Homo-oligomer: A and B are copies of this chain.
């Protein structure tokens, strides 16, 4: 950019903004031509860029050329229709427009007064989404609870564990931190372990209960019940339990109703076990009546989380968290320095989301969720989810028809867990075989899948959920998997 610096000139924004829109639209037009998983080697970019920032300004043309030739080769294309790894992370036109608008307004919404619309729209759209999920009314902002957009499910579980920790420590004294016990299953996401590390929960009090393979890796209520009883008998203080709807490894669904009742009964009148439900991935499916049953028992929960940025067309990041008792969050996370005081906050007329989260500043993220809900509407969003589940079903059928493979756990949503069977009487070789299959498939660049371990078996995960994925991509991916498997098996 030549001449005087005009860093926010409206006409320059218009001119360059149009160029960037075209660049991004062209990216999506050609997205199938990229290797899905980036094939660069560690350290590739440092060789391509200068060692210091430029002294003088450069042109947008220069930068866009570098994006094309230096950055995009190092990108793993999560929006590619051939992306089936981890869980999806949806982009959409509506989500993208919402991000643009948020970046355009670029306000920092820590308190209501810093942009009332940001706080109020967030409360409203999270009430909308809560209603679409048929969450109990106690989670709505019109009562004692409410929703908040966190960056990620990690931050969601962290803030509720802090709220639960401080609630119990206020009762029993802060020296009792060494006695606080957290429960989850060995299928619970690692973000809970990290939240415990951050919150100072003693590692030996982080109970990872063995999920039940005969229940498709859901947690058995008896297991929880026994663990809680044992800990209480030895003088420890159970205070937090996390159940999952749609675990990361295999989309297992924990039985919320029974688990929640145990949490409530065991902790007695003081009701000190905070029950959190992590539906980061599968929560999106629960807007369809036929999947809402997986949420039965959520009325027992203290908090519920789903990531709109995963499978709900809302660009990253947008993790929706609801709590029944917002005061618990606020008591843990509020600060009230003089320089942020203002009439509306002091008079308790408003929500200040800074007190519901770890950071102070926050973006206007509700805009993109609002735009997704309005530009698509619930009916089409349900159709979107159902279509991916149909595509996953198709993939499952293709795998089932091939005797060289097996489906490892029954598919519940849009993830298929499967593996290549080793040659007869060579089960020890199975894990290496599937590891090699993963590597060879991902190295083709034609698709990207990921893996997990279930009962020590190395499993391939095929997660359908990218917005551009169609039947032809499923069929094509399966063909690549079959071809690479044949090559590997021929070498056995």
Q: For this complex, into which size category does the number of interface residues on chain A fall?
A: 35 or more
A429 within 8 A of B: no
Residue of B nearest to A85 (CB): B114
A220 within 8 A of B: no
Q: How far is the CA of A123 from the CA of B45 in the complex (A)?
A: 10
5 more A-B residue pairs beyond the given contacts A37-B113, A53-B373, with a C-beta to C-beta distance below 8 A: A7-B384, A45-B120, A52-B131, A76-B115, A158-B358
* CB < 8 Å neighbour of A339 from B89, B99, B152, B248: B248
Please state if B10 and A107 are interface contacts (CB–CB under 8 Å): no
Q: A10-B29, A53-B132, A108-B89 are in contact. Are A42 and B116 (CB under 8 A)?
A: yes
For A333, list chain B residues within 8 Å (CB). Answer: 194, 197-198
* CB < 8 Å neighbour of A376 from B57, B86, B177: B57
Q: How far is the CA of A124 from the CA of B121 in the complex (A)?
A: 37
* CB < 8 Å neighbour of A107 from B29, B75, B105, B151: B75
For A114, list chain B residues within 8 Å (CB). Answer: 76, 78, 86
A249 within 8 A of B: yes
29 contacts between A and B (CB under 8 A): A5-B381, A7-B376, A8-B92, A10-B25, A11-B25, A13-B28, A17-B25, A17-B96, A20-B100, A20-B101, A24-B100, A27-B105, A46-B123, A46-B124, A54-B373, A56-B379, A57-B376, A60-B97, A62-B374, A75-B115, A75-B118, A86-B108, A91-B106, A99-B103, A151-B151, A198-B198, A309-B361, A339-B451, A358-B358
Q: Give the distance to chain B from A54, nearest Cβ to Cβ, in Å.
A: 5
A112 within 8 A of B: yes
Q: Give the distance to chain B from A182, nearest Cβ to Cβ, in Å.
A: 14
For A45, list chain B residues within 8 Å (CB). Answer: 116-117, 120-121, 124
A452 within 8 A of B: yes
A235 within 8 A of B: no
Residue of B nearest to A379 (CB): B55
For A52, list chain B residues within 8 Å (CB). Answer: 128, 131-132
Q: How far is the CA of A384 from the CA of B127 in the complex (A)?
A: 43
Residue of B nearest to A124 (CB): B49
Please state if A198 and B358 are interface contacts (CB–CB under 8 Å): yes
For A367, list chain B residues within 8 Å (CB). Answer: 71
A313 within 8 A of B: yes
Please state if A93 and B162 are interface contacts (CB–CB under 8 Å): no
A419 within 8 A of B: no
* CB < 8 Å neighbour of A112 from B42, B121, B317: B42
Residue of B nearest to A162 (CB): B198
* CB < 8 Å neighbour of A316 from B51, B108, B151: B108
Residue of B nearest to A439 (CB): B343
For A28, list chain B residues within 8 Å (CB). Answer: 8-10, 13, 104
* CB < 8 Å neighbour of A42 from B165, B349, B373, B468: B349
* CB < 8 Å neighbour of A106 from B78, B198, B248: B78
Please state if A338 and B101 are interface contacts (CB–CB under 8 Å): no
A489 within 8 A of B: no
Please state if B91 and A103 are interface contacts (CB–CB under 8 Å): yes
Please state if B78 and A151 are interface contacts (CB–CB under 8 Å): no
For A338, list chain B residues within 8 Å (CB). Answer: 249, 451-453
For A486, list chain B residues within 8 Å (CB). Answer: none
A487 within 8 A of B: no
Please state if A332 and B120 are interface contacts (CB–CB under 8 Å): no
